[in-house]
Structure 1
């Protein structure tokens, strides 16, 4: 290890062009991030994550020996073992690691402390998580929201979905596969007992935190609680979305999502899932109203709909999240609802006055193109990493 330490003792982040080892799991925003980092002029070596930690460590060290990287980038700590062995080796070799959490870290690594190392720079879409991450030992934790990977200025309304011009559309899933993945005997009964009465994600109450306060003491460990919380979040999101979608009637509703929607018997025309980079933008652009209904596990963070829909020239009606007020001028750049009743009222309003949508779409798109593209986030990530690992640069 002494020889390896010497080998990797070169100055990191010394040049404008960075050498980056990117740990790829073919996950949300990874392909787009790799492409954009290359467009920014960086040299990206993609390492597809092997099945086992031992194989992963061997492959990672071999790749780093070949590349001599300025840093390693991961999403959601993909490629790392929960015991922190890989993280410890990389810290000992003084190889910077940048991790961007695009999901709630508590479902991935309930006990995150073994992964906390001085060479690790953490980014999260949830600003509310930063104090807790720092208490776990991640001293360098930063807020970094998502951003649109779609190219601005492109014409997305191709006419292929003209039948949506007077319709409400929702692109999204039931979370049924997620619910089944987390399910254990007794979970459904416990969910019905523990579900916060009258819970609405827009209320400012955080679902997982509320759940933990109510029944966390019933579980022997953090990992056991978060296993149940994964089930409960999927189940609650199902209930939340299906209730809201029922409120769209009598307006025509089109749902693009998984086959499980059929069992909810909603007053809607159902369609298969669509590709997020090619087909979804055409639907966004064509629909009179696009609905956004966040997963209940999100605290204050925004999902990609807030950025993608206006950038495509589409109109979005979204549930309230606190970060809206930080990232947009809510009164001029967004249409927001706080309940099923308010959502229905606003759908009725925009059906009656469809011309009122255009200024909101235009202003939101201008804001997104100026501040909220994925490339803006990646530039921010690299800037923070330079300041951390080579402040003189």
Structure 2
């Protein structure tokens, strides 16, 4: 195996006004937006895309070291730990070079991080889109954890994108049914009979609870299942079961919300799982999934009311749709989340329901009031442009990395 470079040969960091960033990934997820923001902000960067391909250990080390020592970044940035190997080789290299790592989690880190070693934790800064994760991440052994909410690419999600007549709808919902995701995690967890019999009951109770971790919730609320959970033995199966509970809870919640839209004959844009969930219902139509980048910017403005219900992997945070829809100049009704008030002005910039029972009344009210829809959409778009673009998020991330890891700032 090629040995990591001697730390004595590492390079000075944060010597320029804007940091140099090595963007690392194994899936091109959100890195396009971040790279474009780097270019707009004049940030020197290199993208290392490992493309989720298998490579030998020596080749992996050689590739990483080559990129690091040639470009000499101030830090490495990844999303959801994509590109970080689960054996910890990359983390060992960064530790040897004393080079910070920034990882921006836009999915639940508790469903991802347990698969990785905690090597280099003191020089890793975990950014999370959900402020509720900060203290639990620190308790996990990551002292550097900060809130960085989602944002949007206003150069792509903007008014004027082309659409199609079959996208026209009074009410629409864009979202996955979660049917295949639940089945996939069930197969991966392979729970015994005792756990399997309790899945729906646990998921039902987890949904309205404040606890963000389904596993912690289960062990606290259903202590009699501890032995059955431990019998899963492998961390991978335990993590799969926790994810299963989260997805099942999300499925049930999402289905409840969507059923309340049926009086308005909604268009549901999603997977075929909706046909199973709504097999006995008639007042709706299914549109196949659309491209996030190429089609959604044109789809959102074709609906009078865009509807949103958030995944229960995030109990307090808001999701992507809360930024993307108003960026297009379109109107959104979404579920209320604790962190919403830190991002938008309730009532004037965002319309929310605190309970699914409120959905029909809100939809009916705003369908009948185009002027109110327009006012909210315009106010929300103004706020997004002023505070919630990926340029804003990258600037905040760079500022935090400098304050945390710049030698002068730490002395």
Aligned equivalent of 2:229, options 212, 219, 232: 219
Write the distance in 1 (CA, Å) between the matches of 2:254 and 2:5: 56
* TM-fit CA distance, 1:295: 0.8
Q: Contact (CA 8 Å) 1:156, 1:313: kept in 2 or not?
A: no
Aligned pairs for 1:1-393 within 5 A: 4-8=6-10, 10-49=11-50, 50-51=53-54, 54=57, 55-110=59-114, 114-151=118-155, 154-156=158-160, 158=162, 160-161=164-165, 164=168, 166-184=169-187, 185-186=190-191, 188-197=196-205, 200-201=207-208, 204=210, 206=212, 208=214, 209-215=216-222, 217=226, 218-220=228-230, 224-264=237-277, 265=279, 266=281, 267-390=283-406, 392=408
Write the distance in 2 (CA, Å) between the matches of 1:159 and 1:188: 44
CA deviation map 1:13-72 (0-9, x unaligned)? 111343322112334322111121122212222112243582433321121122122211
Write the distance in 2 (CA, Å) between the matches of 1:375 and 1:17: 13
TM-score in terms of structure 1 length: 0.90
Q: Contact (CA 8 Å) 1:117, 1:138: kept in 2 or not?
A: yes
Write the distance in 1 (CA, Å) between the matches of 2:44 and 2:196: 48
* TM-fit CA distance, 1:141: 1.1
Write the distance in 2 (CA, Å) between the matches of 1:65 and 1:391: 20
Q: Contact (CA 8 Å) 1:29, 1:149: kept in 2 or not?
A: no
> Residues 324, 311 of structure 1: CA spacing in aligned structure 2 closer, same or farther, 3 A cutoff?
same
* TM-fit CA distance, 1:77: 1.5
Write the distance in 1 (CA, Å) between the matches of 2:49 and 2:309: 32
CA deviation map 1:283-334 (0-9, x unaligned)? 2112010011111111211111111101101110001111111111112111
> Residues 53, 120 of structure 1: CA spacing in aligned structure 2 closer, same or farther, 3 A cutoff?
farther
> Residues 171, 3 of structure 1: CA spacing in aligned structure 2 closer, same or farther, 3 A cutoff?
closer
TM-score in terms of structure 2 length: 0.87
Write the distance in 2 (CA, Å) between the matches of 1:95 and 1:207: 31
Aligned residue pairs, count: 389
* TM-fit CA distance, 1:389: 2.2
CA deviation map 1:232-275 (0-9, x unaligned)? 22222222212211111221211111122222224321111112
Q: Contact (CA 8 Å) 2:171, 2:264: kept in 1 or not?
A: yes
Gaps of 5+ in 1: none
Write the distance in 1 (CA, Å) between the matches of 2:382 and 2:4: 52
Write the distance in 2 (CA, Å) between the matches of 1:53 and 1:123: 30
> Residues 122, 3 of structure 1: CA spacing in aligned structure 2 closer, same or farther, 3 A cutoff?
closer
* TM-fit CA distance, 1:173: 0.8
Gaps of 5+ in 2: none
Write the distance in 1 (CA, Å) between the matches of 2:91 and 2:174: 37
> What is the RMSD computed on CA atoms of the aligned residues?
2.5
* TM-fit CA distance, 1:2: 8.6
> Residues 320, 188 of structure 1: CA spacing in aligned structure 2 closer, same or farther, 3 A cutoff?
farther
* TM-fit CA distance, 1:342: 0.2
Q: State the secondary structure of the residue aligned to 1:336.
A: strand
* TM-fit CA distance, 1:148: 0.7
> Residues 111, 262 of structure 1: CA spacing in aligned structure 2 closer, same or farther, 3 A cutoff?
closer
Write the distance in 1 (CA, Å) between the matches of 2:6 and 2:407: 24
Q: Contact (CA 8 Å) 1:207, 1:296: kept in 2 or not?
A: no
